[in-house]
Amino acid sequence: MDEGHLEPAPTSLIERLWEEYWGLPIVSVDREYLPSDVEGLLWREGREAIGLVTWAVAGDQAEIVSLDAFVRGRRIGARLMEAAEAGLRSRGVRRLRVVTTNDNVRALGFYVRRGYRLVRLHLDAMNRVRALKPAVSSVGADGVPLRDMWELEKDL
């Protein structure tokens, strides 16, 4: 069985995966992202893409725009984050930010375990998301009302 490997994610693949899993654009707290706005790493096993992390850099800061492990329980998300952080650190990025929704307790734990700190709560931020993407549900995981965004940061 192929152990898998990391490789740069081409924009065309980011676009296909975002359309399939998230819809375009990806909406953060203060901007929207299209695939052409980001860079990324792909975890591939054979020909199959089983994980993707994307980010946007602005000076010495960056934002993780998306992190997806399409197969759970194999540390794919952790490997992608470790590689992204190492690459960004080597490029002079000093602070990394990530945003997730208030229903995503699993993601909150994932990031906090990796040294991220909750720095801001953006109340009712999902209203802006729904203005751009009306199909986004008002109910998230486990029946939690999908209203707010949690912003986390890590010094690299």
Domain annotation for the chain: domains and CATH numbers: 5-155 (3.40.630.30)
- Rounded Cα distance, 8 and 107, in Å: 23
Q: What is the pLDDT of residues 7-33, one digit of tens each?
A: 999 999 999 999 999 999 999 999 999
Which residue intervals of the chain are DSSP H helices? 11-21, 76-90, 105-113, 125-132
The C-alpha angle 144, 147, 152, rounded to 5 degrees, equals: 95
pTM score, whole prediction? 0.94
- Rounded Cα distance, 107 and 123, in Å: 18
Question: In a 3-state reduction of DSSP, which class is residue 61?
Answer: strand
* Joined tokens for residue 100: 């997730």
Q: Give mean pLDDT, residues 137-150.
A: 95
